Every structure is written in structure tokens, then in C-alpha cells.
Homo-oligomer: A and B are copies of this chain.
């Protein structure tokens, strides 16, 4: 199981992005090569996120269930597991019990 527990040599924005009344809080980071990512937390809730750029969501703690747009099946993901979301799409995510911590990789 691979898991990104930290990023070195990055720029981090001090102001967070707060979504859904705080059910999701993330901080944007920029790697040394200019790649943008975000590190965030989703609190227990069922939420729908829209994507612009394609995203890879990497779990770093906790777990979630996810249903991609156009799919009927929910799939579970834990720490060290990732799921891909296409560009200009959406996904439902359900977090129960403990918060789900993630890295969002864009593009």
C-alpha cells in the first residue's frame, strides 16, 4: 500500500477552501515543479462534488464510499487507495464515522 503522508518543498496556501458549510476543508499546495494539488478532509456526510479538471482522489486516512456520475454502484476506498474522476463530471461521496483525509491530484 502506497500512501502519501507528506509533501516536501511545496508552497501551501494559508487560507483554506471550505465547502458544504465546512463538511469539506482543503488547503491548496503547489509542488516545486508547479503541479497543483490539495490536501483535505471530508467530515461525516454525503456530498456531491463537481469536477473541472480530472481528479485522482488518494485516501490518506479514514475511508469513504463513492459513486461516480452515471454509475449505480457505490465503491469503498480506504487509506492508500485512490479513485479517478473524469473532467467535467461529478461524484457522490459518503463518509461515515471517522473523517476521510485525502490528497486531490489534478489532471
Contact = CB atoms under 8 A, between A and B. Distances in A.
Interface stretch (A22-30, A47-55, A70-78, A83-91): A22-30
A interface secondary structure, majority: strand
A101 B12 contact: no
A12 B29 contact: yes
A21 B103 CA distance: 20
Contact of A11 (B6, B13, B41, B102): B6
A contact residues, range: 20 to 34
A16 B4 contact: no
A2 interface: no
| Most central of A9, A10, A13, A25 by chain B CB within 10 Å | A25
